[in-house]
Structure 1
Amino acid sequence: MATVARENIGTLHDKVSVKLTKEDYLPSFEKSLKQYAKTANVPGFRKGMVPAGMVRKMAGQAMFNEEVVRSAGKHLEDYMQKEKLAIFAQPMIMPSESPVRLDINNPTDVEFTFEIGIKPEFEIPALKNKAKLTAYKIIASDKMLEDEMGRLQRRFGKVDEQETVSKDLDIIYSTYEPCDAAGNVTGDKIEDTEELSMMPAKLKEMLMGKSAGASMVIVPAEICTTEELPKFLKDPLKAGEEAANNHYKLTITKVGLLIAKDMGPELYAAVFPSTEVVDAADFKEKVRVELQREFDRIARERYHNEIFELLVHSTPITLPENFLKRWMREGGEKPKSAAEVENEFSGFEHQLRWQLISDEVIRDNNINVTRDEVKNDIKTRVLAYYGMDADEEAPWMDGYMDKVMQDDKMADETFRRLLTDKIFLALEGKFNTEMKEIGEEEFFKLQDPHSMHHHH
């Protein structure tokens, strides 16, 4: 009869020993062997007529090993269910100087030892005490509204080709290619489009007066100031700081000038294709409403981030660090080094704490997402993509949705997003929240929520 014993070896970290007698695994092994003999295909023998001794010799040891391990795993699982143990990840076989050796010809009592990391019990003080939070209402300034209207005029404007680079508003179409000092290309081409005014000051001087087809060899560190260099390396070069002293061949492919679209019916229709716009004042109001909608989304996103950081950093949760670090090293598809684990553990722990907290919120608020909700959300997004309303006829939609719902990745991503939305919706009413109006410039200067709450 199998026996299971448990011993604490650290904080929320236990060793579980499963001792099997041969009677615990031999009957099921012999049964599996007989079943295999009935279906085995061996040249020279009819199906089901392979001699038992041959089957035992061919596949016996592997099946024996599998059955012993399966039996140990089942007894461990039964024990954890009986004890109602909530654990992280999966039990891991403990390393041993004398690993278990299994021999089909000499079945004996055998003992396996596993280590488990146990999920902690905890309270969430910030919810219990209705912690104070600030939610913001961003008020768009008249200048921001005018800037947004100007941006829309430029977005729907047209580009007139120019002979040479001559003004800050010129758009430079170009390519950057890694090369040597003589301009011999050594890497792949990177395409870029940038307004001249946004380029490093020294590079602007070098480009002035040049036309399409002109090329030059540049070194990022030589054409950028200390402040300009990081941005220039990231975009357009898509490189890190190690590329600061590399050579690049810059070639102008086109010079253009953006001509903004005049305020009028054509612009109104381009910006709001399915909505009637009466005049410039009506257009301005509709732009203001859209801008406010976007600001509301950004403010709500910040509020949710603040909830996330507050709960993660103010909830006292003890974790089985030693077990989790071993699981990170050995439990994934690819083993990690101890140094990699130490480097990644802080971020891993941050997300794990949120997972435990959100699981608690889901349980306490009976939150769930149905398959119909997932399907309806995907359908709504598809219709929006094609500019259609929910009540418009789309005969192709049912077949399309059947195909989409077979895409596990899309369905899973939609499920997770809807679940997250419901979690934050449930949390929004559980704090003592002050609503504060704020200008957009002041809002974007606020300290980020992670820095505000980080102290664990």
Structure 2
Amino acid sequence: MNIEREETGNLTATLKMKIQPEDYLPGVEKALKEQRKNAVLPGFRPGQVPMTIIKKKVGKALLIGEVERLIDANLKGYLQENSLRVLGQPLPKAENAVNNNWEEPGEFNFSYELGMAPSFEVNLDKLGVEYPAVDVDEVLVTREITDMQRRFGKVEDAEVSEDKDMLLGDMIELDPDGSIKQGGILNRATISLEFVTEDAARQSLVGKKKDDEITVDPHKVSKDPEDMAHMLGISVDQANEIGDSFMFRVAEVKRMAPVPIDQALFDRVYGKDAVSDEAGFRAKVSEGLDQMFRRDSDRLFLRFAMKKIQERTNVELPDTFLKRWIQETSKTPVTLEDVEKGYTDYANGLKRQLVQDRVIETYGLEAKGEEMDAFAKRYVSDQFMQYGMPAPEGEQLQLMAARMLGDQEQINRIRGTIVEQKLMVHFKTLLEPTEKKVSFDEFVTLARTV
């Protein structure tokens, strides 16, 4: 086995792999013997089918499988041993199919194109990033208290619907001419006007009472395909194909009656006697909002900092290679024109990730094994406590944390959370940002810019 690397550009290279018979024959012979041992063929005893027949039936497939295994293992090994940081995966060159004869195996030659990750340094000196902090004013506090009053309120019957009510009734599918569709959908459903985002659709449901009939578009009175599927009593796949004309016949109008601002509400939100008057209640609400917005501010500050670092860092990419890689590895066929349309966003996202990875590497902010283990244990304990159950301890806690860390999706989530926290602390300490008070609306606008 021989592998040679040929630099073909600033960030591209070709790996040429030469595989000799002595590399693949042992594996092929072993696989053939296994096939013969398990082969069942009329006229022959189990395990006694002639090797010539086995080779004729499965020899080529086993040869291809063994060569592909060797290619995969040796490509990975070569990249690791030579500390090559590649983008995407190695792409086989078209000549591979022409230069190799599976019918008369001998020496095999394969070539793979590589797109290399760029080498660059990051500089955090004089970055000048502000820390946006939401100014928790009386308007926000009042809005939050109003939400609490409704959250802890009780559902009551109402005569005529208002813009935050719930309508219970029947969804009835219509034909294009507006008549009830024979064999169409008929399902009891609930529409929460509060979550109907399109103003015209919401207003069409205001002022309605029992037995009123309104033509509605289920896409506009539901939050998402899953919600619409539940509303219509169908699958999500069916919901994606459904029409936009239904009759909604009102059966009930429900309204959430808010609870008064009194000691009962104070106790329910913060615990018995933690707050004794409305002024103290408002102060606690303000404190809670400030803590909540601080977490959002941390994330926005981190995004601003990473954006500034990216703007001052020259990150080159092997664009031609990446476009080809996207095209060839797409789950559905795409043209080069399709790739070009979305490539700028893809490239910016990749550069952002490369810059973040470089910051993490430069300042030693990786998530360590013991940190991930501690995070998993804390998460498991919090989940039990959330439901009022005693948290597991000792060996049981370790076992549950280990099970959690056996899931790659959970590993990625935990690693991402730990790294984000480390970046936050590091940037706050190193950059010493100036805090800038902004209104809630200004904060939302800022968040949309990065």
Please classify the TM superposition score into its range, dividing by the shorter chain length: 0.7 to 0.9
Partner of 1:305: 303
Partner of 1:414: 414
User: 1 CA distance for matches of 2:106 and 2:129?
Assistant: 63
**Mapping of 1:299-338 within 5 angstroms?**
299-331=297-329, 333-338=331-336
Partner of 2:263: 265
Are the counterparts in 2 of residues 175 and 192 from structure 1 also a CA contact under 8 Å?
A: no
Displacement, 1:438?
3.0
Displacement, 1:376?
1.8
Q: Note closer, same or farther for the CA distance 1:393–1:252 as it changes in structure 2 (3 Å cut).
A: farther
Are the counterparts in 1 of residues 16 and 109 from structure 2 also a CA contact under 8 Å?
A: yes
In structure 1, give the amino acid aligned to 2:277. D
> Kindly, what percent of the aligned residue pairs are identical?
23
Q: Alpha-carbon deviations, 1:204-240, whole Å to 9, x = none?
A: 47853x421210235x7xxxxxxxxxxx96554759x
Partner of 2:230: none
Partner of 1:225: none
| SS at structure 2 position matched to 1:99 | helix
Partner of 2:440: 440
Q: Alpha-carbon deviations, 1:314-363, whole Å to 9, x = none?
A: 32111111222222222355554434433333333233223322322332
In structure 1, give the amino acid aligned to 2:358. E
Displacement, 1:134?
0.4
- What's the Cα RMSD here? 3.9
User: 2 CA distance for matches of 1:26 and 1:419?
Assistant: 46
Of 427-436 and 400-409, deviating more is: 400-409
Partner of 2:229: none
Are the counterparts in 2 of residues 157 and 260 from structure 1 also a CA contact under 8 Å?
A: yes
User: 2 CA distance for matches of 1:201 and 1:3?
Assistant: 69
User: 1 CA distance for matches of 2:44 and 2:447?
Assistant: 77
Partner of 2:151: 155
Partner of 2:94: 95
| SS at structure 1 position matched to 2:85 | coil
Displacement, 1:152?
1.3
In structure 1, give the amino acid aligned to 2:438. I
| SS at structure 2 position matched to 1:318 | coil
Are the counterparts in 2 of residues 172 and 196 from structure 1 also a CA contact under 8 Å?
A: no
In structure 2, give the amino acid aligned to 1:51. P
Structure 1 position 348 matched with structure 2 position 378? no
1:142 aligned to 128, 138, 145, which one?
A: 138
User: 1 CA distance for matches of 2:22 and 2:431?
Assistant: 58
Structure 1 position 426 matched with structure 2 position 426? yes
User: 1 CA distance for matches of 2:199 and 2:400?
Assistant: 48
Displacement, 1:255?
2.0
Partner of 1:14: 13
Displacement, 1:31?
4.7
| SS at structure 2 position matched to 1:16 | strand
| SS at structure 1 position matched to 2:380 | helix
Q: How many residues align?
A: 428
TM-score by length of 2: 0.79
TM-score by length of 1: 0.78
Q: Which runs of 5+ in 1 are unaligned?
A: 221-231, 451-456
Are the counterparts in 2 of residues 158 and 259 from structure 1 also a CA contact under 8 Å?
A: yes
User: 1 CA distance for matches of 2:393 and 2:26?
Assistant: 62
Displacement, 1:397?
6.5
**Mapping of 1:332-411 within 5 angstroms?**
333-366=331-364, 367-370=366-369, 371-387=372-388, 404=404, 407-411=407-411
Partner of 1:109: 107
User: 1 CA distance for matches of 2:83 and 2:407?
Assistant: 35
Partner of 1:131: 127
Are the counterparts in 2 of residues 131 and 432 from structure 1 also a CA contact under 8 Å?
A: no
User: 1 CA distance for matches of 2:80 and 2:200?
Assistant: 68
Q: Alpha-carbon deviations, 1:395-451, whole Å to 9, x = none?
A: 99677657655555334433333333333433333335211233334434447342x
Partner of 1:288: 286
